[in-house]
Amino acid sequence: MSLRNLPDEVTILRASGTDAYGNPGASWESPSTSTVRGFQVRRDQLLLPPDADVQLGDRVRVNGVTYAVEGEPNLVRSMRAAVLVTVGLARLEVTSG
């Protein structure tokens, strides 16, 4: 698989600002964003390039659906180099109210 041809546009969202209690980096009202190419293998697994800045606690949006990053992202390596990052996903349900 060529990482240059990953089919999905992925937006990585990271909490910013402060929450109602003053905790830094805990507000989702206006998260910081970055965009990378990726491949959603299954509903609960995403592959990203090895230089993708994704962390536990982030959210990702793939094909219009937002997911929480579940567990630590895992850097997959060959004997020569970092190959890709695997990310576990948990779908976030949006409720209207």
Instruction: Show the CA angle centred on residue 74, arms to residues 3 and 53, nearest 5°.
Output: 65
Domains of the chain: 3-91 (2.40.10.270)
- pLDDT single digits (tens) 80-95: 998 999 999 999 976 5
Note the pTM of the prediction, 2 decimals: 0.83
Indicate whether 17 pLDDT > 90: no
**How does 60-91 read in b/e, with b if 16+ C-beta sit within 10 Å?**
bbbeeebbebeeebeeeeeeeeeebbebbbee
